[in-house]
Amino acid sequence: MQSEPSPKSREPAPATARDVAGFGLFWPGKAAAFAEAALPPRSTLVARTPNAAAAHSVIAGDNLEALRLLRPQLAKAVRLVYIDPPYNAGAEYLYADTFHTATGDGRRHSRWLDLMAPRLVLTRELLRSDGVLFVSIGDHELAHLRLLCDEVFGEENFVACVPRIAKRTSNKGTHFAPSKDYLLAYARDLRQLPPFHDVIDRDYEKRFRGKDERGRFATVGLYQNALDPRPNQRYWIACPDGSLAIPPGETFPDALEDGAFVTPRSQKDRVWRWSHQSYRERRELLVWKKSKRSPLLAPGGGASPWNVYTKYYLEDRLRTGLRPRDFLDGLTNDQGTAELKALGLDDCFPFAKPVGLVQRLLQWIAAKDAVVLDYFAGSGTTAHAVLAENAADGGTRRFVLVQDGAPTGRTDFATIADLTIERIARAKARLDAERAPRPGEPREFAVFDVRPD
């Protein structure tokens, strides 16, 4: 698969619309790499287990052939693709992570792009119109991957580049201790990708300490220091004892009455979050709290004894959902290692991603019946996440995983695919032991081999 491209394929033939326009990413062999996606499969999927019709599948073999073979069955059917390809970072423990020659010339990136280009083209074909791709990637290939995805998916379908804190304790590196990687996300069609939802967990719910006739609420200051002055947002607010309060500043409304406003004259004149019109319409959402350290001013410029807050309700947040932040913390690599260890698979696989990372993606897309594809399966984290998330929320998501048969040199797991399969079996057994599967809950997985014709 990583064979040298023929001299012909080194010629800069146009591969994509961007090439025709003369703008974009170029590497020797690009046209040949894109052409790979259109080739018919030269192998067959052969069931290794008797349950070929099981809900989930694991395919042992090269992922380019597997994607070609999956095309008839999965075209426009996949809601979420998560892949974690080699980062090309020069580490080589169990699987090839380095795609360059000893001289370190431009081939370093070319060979990696040869690997990714045809697979991404086929990924796009398999995604539903509301489908999304997430790729874990490090700094070595982030820039190239982004340009490549811009070509394959269209720049307009870029969703986000989400940094993830991957480790905290490393002191390696010359200037910085590398601690993060990224999740690059592209939609099949951004206009059809529903907004993402973050799950509202117990910790978040704890913020809603207040309660009134409408339900549980939390409060947030109506004055925020970071707000730049804007017209219509500097006005007096009447407090419960009849006194007036206004954000810090030097300019005050002429009239000493509730709602009287003034246009800020300089950066020093700070403002409320709401315009005075909103304030009049939504006054029932206000909460006043006495505070000795209130930043607000009273008439005459002295400190106000009050601070002013607005309520927001748990019920509203549950209905509209939370937008996830575009960075990830609390999902570090050591969790992935610990999860393998907990299944009795210590020292089997380096850099397994935490199950929670893939569960987070499943929660973001909020499709309980999603078909989920991961064709750089490694230790099978994605399958584990799908099973765990189905168990947690009653979903019927199905996974399709692909992992090649790279030899491990070990006696217990001869190939990485063997390890993938064993990990999924152990994760499933663990979940089954915790709770019997619900009727209809997809737990069984079939194994297939990519057999050359």
Ligand X SMILES: C[S@@+](CC[C@H](N)C(=O)[O-])C[C@H]1O[C@@H](n2cnc3c(N)ncnc32)[C@H](O)[C@@H]1O
Chain contacts with ligand X (rule: CB under 6 A): 1, 62-63, 84, 86, 95, 336, 349, 351-353, 376, 378-379, 381, 402-404, 406, 416
Kind and range of the H or E element at 264? none
Q: Is 102 helix (H, G, I), strand (E, B) or coil?
A: coil
Question: Which CB atom, from 99 or from 196, has the smaller least distance to ligand X?
Answer: 99
- Least distance CB 52 / ligand X (angstroms): 20
Question: Which CB atom, from 132 or from 419, has the smaller least distance to ligand X?
Answer: 419
Contacts of 419 (CB under 8 A, 6+ apart): 345, 348, 349, 379, 380, 408, 413
Backbone phi, psi, residue 364, to 5°: -60, -45
- Least distance CB 159 / ligand X (angstroms): 20
Sheet holding 210-212, edge to edge: 210-212, 215-221, 306-313, 286-290
Q: Which residue type, as a one-letter code, is found at position 56?
A: H
Integer Cα distance of 198 and 178 in angstroms? 27
Integer Cα distance of 313 and 327 in angstroms? 25
- Least distance CB 285 / ligand X (angstroms): 45
Token code pair at residue 424: 């999924």
- Least distance CB 393 / ligand X (angstroms): 21
Report residue 140 CA to chain centroid gap. 19
Neighbours of 291 (CB within 10 A): 14
Q: Which residue type, as a one-letter code, is found at position 156?
A: E
Beta bridge partners of 7: none
- Least distance CB 156 / ligand X (angstroms): 28
- Least distance CB 327 / ligand X (angstroms): 20
Question: Which CB atom, from 119 or from 270, has the smaller least distance to ligand X?
Answer: 119
- Least distance CB 118 / ligand X (angstroms): 10
Integer Cα distance of 11 and 14 in angstroms? 9
